[in-house]
Amino acid sequence: MARRSSLRSLHLLAEQLYDILEDEGFFDEGDRRMPTVARYRRRSGRGSRRPKVVLPKPKRKVSAYQREFGRQLKKLKKAHPRTPVTKLMKRAHAATKRARRGK
């Protein structure tokens, strides 16, 4: 257990050193004090400064069957509130097929 906590503290110390060096400009692209590979290495997203822009997912269109199924299930739930939903879903599916057969 002691080894794990010491590794964690070493990792935190390394991150602090990295942040200090970054603030002083040590990792600038024009700096020749570091090897080329290290200059272009990116930091993990853990301490990124720019907030990520999350785009909302587009809403999917609800099918006509799904809408009718919802109506039928609602009716059945109102009529049989104590019946398990799985049984009502079977009945709602059958009722939906019957309702949509004429369309």
> Do 22 and 16 meet the contact criterion of CB atoms below 8 Å apart?
no
CA distance 91 to 97: 10
13: enclosing H helix or E strand: helix 2-23
The model's pTM: 0.46
More confident residue, 47 or 74: 74
Burial, 75: exposed, middle or buried (Cβ in 10 Å; 0-12, 13-18, 19+)?
middle
Model confidence pLDDT, tens digit, residues 60-77:
999 999 999 999 999 999
Mean local confidence (pLDDT), 48-55: 76
User: Domain ranges in the chain?
Assistant: 2-43, 64-101
Mean local confidence (pLDDT), 20-48: 63
Sequence letter at residue 3: R
Sequence letter at residue 24: E
> Do 71 and 62 meet the contact criterion of CB atoms below 8 Å apart?
no
More confident residue, 88 or 55: 88
